[in-house]
């Protein structure tokens, strides 16, 4: 079996991160799967592909210096702050492309559970939440509920993931909560005060973090190798460090705007315009 490609692309803005995930999944340039770790700078609220951007208070995001981006996958709002973010891409040429979505989801969750176990956290799978009749979750934010086969600790969600199948490949990406930065999300959502308060309570009641579960702060630099080993040992694969292909990077740059809602670049441009007018 050929090694999977391992990428650690470091810090990037929200639209850049989401465009790269889409490019890795849809570029059709690799015959082997890819596991990518990445981070967000500045912090970013990401929305599901079909989610209404009007649910987020862009003025508050702008004031806080947060970006807002759209994911290529479905789901609800997430504040990407103190976390380890991963993505897995299975190209159409690979045998795993034909695995049923829930089965692939469980395989990846098993790898994440193994990584968390190595870090001293007793993680397991969630039984799944109740959905609306149209299949949508009953919450405004992704981390306010746990779907089947998502990773939980002590009944609380510690990893949130989403998956989408394209003709060129399958993309699954998700967030492993290291600390509690994600809990600020309700501050940036629009809605009635009572609704936002209820959402805040659900988020606090239904999530945990690696720091809380382990009793100590675990850095990205410590967590990433543990998750890597979880993938290798659980899935029986080898991961070889690689790089983003130039054609993948070019595709990501071409697609960046379709995932951009609010960026620090747009903030800087507005400030320059204001200065020029004054």
| pLDDT value at residue 158 | 98
Superfamily grouping for domain 4-265: Bira Bifunctional Protein; Domain 2 (3.30.930.10)
pLDDT band at 143 (very low <50, low <70, confident <90, very high): low
| Mean pLDDT value across the chain | 91
Whether the CB-CB separation of 108 and 35 falls below 8 Å is answered with no
Residue 147 has pLDDT above 90, yes or no: no
In this predicted structure, the answer to whether residue 278 has a pLDDT above a threshold of 80 is no
pLDDT digits (tens, 9 = 90+) for 68-105: 999 999 999 999 999 999 999 999 999 999 999 999 99
How far is Cα 174 from Cα 176, in angstroms, rounded to an integer?
Answer: 7
Rounded to the nearest 10°, the torsion over CA 179, 239, 235, 98 is 100
61 is catalytic: no
The dihedrals phi and psi of 248, each to the nearest 5 degrees, come to -65, -40
Strand-pair partners of 90: 170
Residue 271 tokens read as 């400030």
Q: What is the pLDDT of residues 166-196, one digit of tens each?
A: 999 999 999 999 999 999 999 999 999 999 9
pLDDT at 172: 98
Of 159, 175, 156, 138, nearest to 18 (Cα)? 175
Least confident of 42-51, 137-146, 203-212: 137-146
Task: Identify the residue whose tokens are 């709002």.
Answer: 77
pLDDT value, residue 188: 98
Q: Write the pLDDT tens digit of every residue in 222-246.
A: 999 999 999 999 999 999 999 999 9
Contacts of 205 (CB under 8 A, 6+ apart): 156
| Mean pLDDT on 53-70 | 97
Encoding tokens for residue 133? 């009749």
pLDDT, mean of residues 108-119 = 98
Q: What pLDDT, on a 0 to 100 scale, did the predictor assign at position 253?
A: 98
Per-residue confidence band for 126, with pLDDT thresholds at 50, 70 and 90: confident
Q: For the chain, which residues make up each domain, given as ranges?
A: 4-265
Residue 274 confidence class, pLDDT cut points 50, 70, 90 = very low
- More reliable by pLDDT, 178 or 276: 178
């Amino acid at each position: 079996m050929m090694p999977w490609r391992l990428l650690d692309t470091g810090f990037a803005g929200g639209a850049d991160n989401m465009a790269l995930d889409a490019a890795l999944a849809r570029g059709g340039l690799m015959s082997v799967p890819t596991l990518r770790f990445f981070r967000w700078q500045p912090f970013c609220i990401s929305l599901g592909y079909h989610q209404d951007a009007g649910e987020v208070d862009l003025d508050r995001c702008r004031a806080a210096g947060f970006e807002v981006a759209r994911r290529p996958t479905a789901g609800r709002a997430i504040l990407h702050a103190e976390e380890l973010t991963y993505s897995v891409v299975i190209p159409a040429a690979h045998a795993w492309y034909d695995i049923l979505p829930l089965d692939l989801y469980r395989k990846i969750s098993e790898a994440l559970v193994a990584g968390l176990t190595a870090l001293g956290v007793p993680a397991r799978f969630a039984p799944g939440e109740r959905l609306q009749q149209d299949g949508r979750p009953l919450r405004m934010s992704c981390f306010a509920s746990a779907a089947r086969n998502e990773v939980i600790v002590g009944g609380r969600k510690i990893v949130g993931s989403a998956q989408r199948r394209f003709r060129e490949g399958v993309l699954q990406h998700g967030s492993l909560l290291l600390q509690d930065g994600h809990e600020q999300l309700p501050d940036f959502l629009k809605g009635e005060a009572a609704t936002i308060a209820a959402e805040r309570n659900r988020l606090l009641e239904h999530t945990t973090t690696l720091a809380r579960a382990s009793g100590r702060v675990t850095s990205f630099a410590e967590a990433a190798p543990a998750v890597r080993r979880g993938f290798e040992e659980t899935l029986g694969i080898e991961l070889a460090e690689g790089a983003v292909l130039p054609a993948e990077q070019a595709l990501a740059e071409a697609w960046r705007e379709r995932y951009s809602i609010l960026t620090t670049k747009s903030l800087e441009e507005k400030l320059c315009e204001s200065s020029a007018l004054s």
